Amino acid sequence: MIKDADGRLLLIRRGHEPAAGLWSLPGGRIEPGETDEQAVRREVLEETNLTVECRRLLGRVRLPGTAGTVMEVSDYLAVVTGGELAAGDDAADARWVTAADLAGLPLTSGLAGYLTAWGAYPA
């Protein structure tokens, strides 16, 4: 989870399954040999063109994947340290959103609830 100086949340619109077309936090798979923190930095850069510093773990969830698989997702707080926002890799779009914007977007299943439960958003 990444917020800008105005408190807006960074979301990407997923370009591929699972959940293609829905809005979510930037993220993806951990590559062999990577730490969670390294994966956060790489995935955010690939999907948004932003460099980040990974901070604390917000929470973990299990979500349905493709073909009956289950994804274990760890969401971290991160802070932008450079770059200019631009969608890339498997993100169809990327944008900063307010709490009001968030309510009107088609989000991945459970995202709003997880963010609220973790006290992460809206804030």
In whole angstroms, give the CA distance from residue 93 to residue 39.
Answer: 20
pTM listed for this prediction:
0.89
Half-sphere exposure of 112 (CA within 13 A, CB side): 13
CATH architecture for segment(s) 9-117: Alpha-Beta Complex (3.90)
pLDDT score, position 99: 85
Digit-coded pLDDT (tens) for 74-86:
999 999 999 999 9
Query: Of 13-17, 61-65, 89-93, 104-108, which range is least confident?
Result: 61-65
Query: Of 44-48, 93-97, 106-110, 115-119, which range is least confident?
Result: 115-119
Nearest Cα to 17, choosing from 68, 56, 54? 68
Nearest Cα to 88, choosing from 123, 50, 62, 58? 50
Cβ 51 vs Cβ 45: under 8 Å: yes
pLDDT score, position 119: 76
Question: Hey, where are the domains in the chain?
Answer: 9-117
